[in-house]
Amino acid sequence: MFPLCAAILLLLPLAVHAKTGDRNQPMTTSQSSVNGSQSPNTITTLTGNVVVTQGSMKAKGDVAQVYLGADAQVSRIVMKGHPAHIQQLDDNDHLMTGEAPTLDYDNVNGIVVLQPDAVVTEQSMGDAHADKLTYNTQTAYFTGTGNVSVTYLPKQRQDGNAQPVPASTAPQK
């Protein structure tokens, strides 16, 4: 229903997906106040210390709007914060996190958009920063626009140290 985090998790071309079973877990919310209903084609507003949880995914923000479709299922969630934060484990139990003032998750198509000043970090893999990051949670395809920077971390050996870089064999002048 709302692997927003995968989204948020967005972005490393290191093809990481959200934990497979998360989407089939119930979604829970906690907040200071709520205004809305669980009727089809409605928008419910969650306000104050908003936390949305589904499986290993947890999103936090100041305000969230939960959009229900014609089937009364969550079709979209827009969360705002200073910044809004999302985290989730992948199938290898690596933590993925994302932060931006606005997180917009399309639950029908599995697309998450973080903006502006978006940051996504994946444990042991690296991170990405951009004005806008868009991530497909089903295919792990992502795009970044505006001041994009990506850091790729070296693969870790089993002892936890980075793999050594071979010395150059080119003749020295």
In 4-158 the beta strands, taken as DSSP E runs, fall at 27-30, 33-35, 43-54, 57-68, 74-89, 95-106, 111-115, 118-122, 126-130, 132-136, 142-145, 149-152
Q: 47-61, 70-84, 98-112: which has the minimum mean pLDDT?
A: 98-112
The CATH number of the domain holding residue 81 is 2.60.450.10
Can you give the residue range of the structural domain that contains 110?
4-152
Return the closest-CA partner of residue 10 out of 130, 108, 92: 130
Element (H, E) at 5: helix 4-7
**Does residue 62 have a pLDDT over 70?**
yes
Residue 106 resides in a domain: yes
Percent of the residues in the chain that have a pLDDT greater than 70, as a whole number: 77
Q: How confident is the model at residue 140 (pLDDT cuts 50, 70, 90)?
A: low
Tens digit of pLDDT for each residue in 91-133? 788 888 889 999 998 887 878 899 999 998 888 888 899 999 9
For 26-38, what is the mean pLDDT? 95
Among the residue ranges 57-66, 80-89, 140-149, the one predicted with the least confidence is: 140-149
Q: Within a domain: residue 78?
A: yes
Output the pTM of the full model.
0.76
Percentage of residues of the chain with pLDDT beyond 90: 46
Task: Look at the chain and report how many structural domains it folds into.
Answer: 1
